[in-house]
Amino acid sequence: MGLKPNGNYRNLKDSYLFFRISKQVAAYRAEHPDRPLYRLGIGDVSRPLCGAVIDALHAAADDQASAGSFHGYTPECGIPEFRAAAAGYYARRGVRLDPEEVFVSSGASDELGDILDLFDPSSPALITQPAYPAYVDASVMAGRKTVFLNAGPENSFLPAPPEDTEAELIYLCSPNNPTGAVYSLEGLQAWVDFANRRGAVILFDAAYEAFVEGDLPHSIFETKGAETCAIEICSLSKTAGFTGTRLGYTVIPKALEREGMNLNAMWIRNRTTKTNGISYILQKAGIAVFTDEGLRQIQENIRIYKQNAGVLMDALDSVGIRYWGGKNAPYIWMACPDGMKSWDFFDLLLREIQVIGTPGEGFGACGEGFFRLSSFGDPEETKTAAERLRRLLAERKGDLA
């Protein structure tokens, strides 16, 4: 009797990764209140917003103070200036988008869940693992069947499309959280060709695109044919330090159709029903990110995170530990030493050197035996943590000078 809840929630596994980490850290802290902890586990940024963004926030707040410049509701899909600025950011890399193909959002997490409204829940999803945990959970909540494709050292954590799969909704994340691996243009093209052949749709999570260097693709729309099979979900969280400010954008091409239904038009219908727009002030801050000065300033912060990654990679290189990522991503995905399990390695680091990382097993079963280090921390703390890690790993190898 009574209203039935969404029973799919019964199928969710306990999301215990960060909960278990914080419980173990709190227990250690209680026992050793005087020992400093070195945090290499965080997926949050530590650098403040850049000056161009802060100026835009202040100016937009002032706009709201007088009747002549005040803004009430903004258009649900984004203010035209924001949509044009984001499209202009793509144009810098030769990707031509109509600003109406860019939709403002409150961030990638919100969007990764909401976008599922566009697809029939009976269409199975494919998730490459290890994976950002939200993909699996959002898919389970929607009652969608999920199949997994394992990534590992054998494919440099960049799996190719499978020969045979029933999946029609494909999650790809490049640069990847947690492995830091980045698809080449050819690697992405193979997925796009595969999706177009099957009529599948790729949800491409580009939350870390700003960390990409050289010729590697930032966007799935750098491939040929992505406009008929891909949606790109982007965020200013890691690009510009907006984790606590909240702004993102999603690209849905006008050419993307299935069974005669246009997904861009469907998303307009969705947003105009389910949102009343995103804060004017935040969109003005987002526009500031995409100016020449904004892009220069955010790269300054990213450079600091990359220096942190360099310090961590040097430490691992000096003791011969294998790792992936670090160069085009804020994460380093290392093999645990001596075939240790990832939670055992977590315990060892906490107990012996008070360094906190993230056990790979928390990102899916095939993450067992690996460990994620984040470069988002404070530079001095990262240097100290890297040295402590180097000494511990060298001691275990018996070759500490």
The distance of closest approach from Cβ of residue 65 to ligand PLP in the complex, given in angstroms and rounded to an integer, is 29
CA separation, residue 355 to residues 19, 103, 350 (Å): 17, 40, 5
Binding mask 83-102 toward ligand PLP (x if CB under 6 A, else -) reads --------------------
CB of 148 to ligand PLP, least distance (A): 16
Report the site for ligand PLP in 170-189 (rule: CB under 6 A). Answer: 173, 177
Query: What is Dmax (Cα atoms) for the chain?
Result: 72
* Ramachandran angles phi, psi of 64, nearest 5°: -75, -5
| Residue 79 DSSP label | -
Decide: is 207 part of the binding site for ligand PLP (CB under 6 A). yes
**108 binding ligand PLP? (CB under 6 A):** yes
State the nearest-atom distance from the C-beta of 237 to ligand PLP, in Å. 3
Q: How would DSSP label each residue in 258-281?
A: ETTEEHHHHHHHHHHHH-----HH
Each residue 238-257 as x (binds ligand PLP by CB under 6 A) or -, in order, gives: -----x----x---------
Q: How far is the CB of 85 from ligand PLP (least distance, A)?
A: 17
Rounded to whole angstroms, the Cα distance separating 367 from 180 reads: 13
Residue 300 tokens, joined: 């300054």
User: 21 or 319, CB closer to ligand PLP?
Assistant: 21
Residues facing residue 249 across a β-bridge: 104, 234
DSSP state string for 291-347? SHHHHHHHHHHHHHHHHHHHHHHHHHHHTT--EEESSSSSEEEEEPGGG--HHHHHH
Nearer CB in complex with ligand PLP: 108/287: 108
Task: Give the nearest distance from C-beta 374 to ligand PLP in angstroms.
Answer: 10
**Number of alpha carbons in the 13 Å side-chain half-sphere of residue 398:** 1
Binding residue for ligand PLP (CB under 6 A) from 132, 211, 346, 370?
132
Tokens linked to 36: 């400093």
Q: Which of residues 220-239 bind ligand PLP (CB under 6 A)?
A: 235, 237
Q: Does 107 interact with ligand PLP (rule: CB under 6 A)?
A: yes
Q: Which of residues 18-57 bind ligand PLP (CB under 6 A)?
A: 43
Q: What span, in angstroms and rounded, lies between the C-alpha atoms of 64 and 69?
A: 6
Residues near ligand PLP (CB under 6 A) are 43, 107-109, 132, 173, 177, 205, 207, 235, 237, 243, 248
